[in-house]
Amino acid sequence: MASLPLEGLKVVDLTHSAAGPFATSILGDLGAEVIKVESPEGDMTRTWGYVIRDGVSTYYLAMNRNKRVIRLDLKRDEDRRRLYELVKDADVFIENYRVGVAERLGVDYETIMRINPRIIYVSIKGFMPGSKYEDYPAFDIVIQGMSGLMSVTGCENGEFVKVGVPITDMITGFFAVIGILSALRIRDRTGRGLRITVPMLDSAIYVMGIHILYYLFTNVVPKPMGTKYMSVVAPYQAFRAGDGKMFILAIGNDRIWRRFCEVIGRPELADDPRFRTNPDRVRNQGELERMLQEIFMTRDRDYWVRLFLSNGIPAGPVYDVSDLVRDEYVNEYVLTEVNVPGLGRVKLVRNPIRFDNESPGVRYLEY
């Protein structure tokens, strides 16, 4: 792109691990100048996942593109002064230290605002400061458990499981970006900076709203349902085809249901009193699942996906990562390559936002 939307925005990033780095990567994608300040030991995620070379891991690269990286020991006066110089003309300052650490290092809200009253000061925390949980350490898996997210994830009649990506870190990162962009608009009107706090637990519970409201009205505790969608809509789940591969079928309304019954050669199911309406199908979901699974075992996955998509019925294959990176669409629109000194050509995922059909892309990858 000739011009990115956040060009001219300077972000001083003291975050580590995942939630903060994910947020600042988005800002970097959108054109902000992000200066990632690491301790002399480096971000802990440099050793997470596959370590490509000493101090560089796949996890770290995925979370830290479009940033300039420096290392400062903020316990030393000289390095703290260097940080203060960066802050003087910055627009955003973001940290995710445990409660009390920013104060000990001299990078707390009051100190940073005295240096630059126009700065947006962002704190990502596990829990709200001042709460009974404020001193608890928080990683994604802790928050997945405490938020209830893990309790609705997993196979039916099985144990709870975590989501396969650090989803609560990412949700928190998204909310941090929303908060920053909103605060910049406020600053446009007032001329002054703003303090933003984004707790991970609160962010995760926000996306649990459909389950919380369901429980409050019914007093029924939501449970894991595998690939099914609560007691909301059916069939809306994964099925296994005759070749052992899985696909998703999403019958979102009664109109699609009637078309689906015609397409699979079972038109009589459309008016079967057990399945005629969505509430009927939800009520008799187990029986319907067994019936459809028997039908789907007669053909391979690709047959069913092609048949459904050609008839306007929402469906798609269940991919693993090796399938994903071979997909034609993914290679054309999602993946991009960047040349990284010392690492060669590295494939990364593009930012999905298109501005006049152009993706912001990955401009550089420092480590």
Q: Catalytic residue positions?
A: 169
- Helix residue spans in 264-317 (DSSP H): 278-283, 285-296, 301-310
Cβ contacts of 341 within 8 Å, gap of 6 or more: none
Tell which residue, 290, 278, 271, has the closest CA to residue 233: 278
Tell which residue, 255, 352, 246, 236, has the closest CA to residue 311: 255
Asked whether the beta carbons of 97 and 19 are under 8 A apart, the reply is no
Q: Is the peptide bond before 235 cis (omega within 30 degrees of 0)?
A: yes
Q: Rg (Cα) of the chain, in Å, rounded?
A: 24
> 3-state DSSP call for residue 64?
coil
Cα four-point dihedral sign 81, 82, 83, 89: positive
Q: How far is CA 48 from CA 53, 54, 300, 352, in A?
A: 12, 12, 38, 25
Tell which residue, 52, 54, 36, 44, has the closest CA to residue 18: 44
d(CA 52, CA 310): 43
d(CA 22, CA 358): 21
d(CA 316, CA 308): 9
Q: How far is CA 65 from CA 30, 224, 319, 321, 355, in A?
A: 11, 35, 26, 21, 19
Q: Tokens standing for 361?
A: 């892309």
Q: Tokens standing for 340?
A: 């990284």
Cα four-point dihedral sign 195, 201, 204, 210: negative
Q: Tokens standing for 17?
A: 């691990």
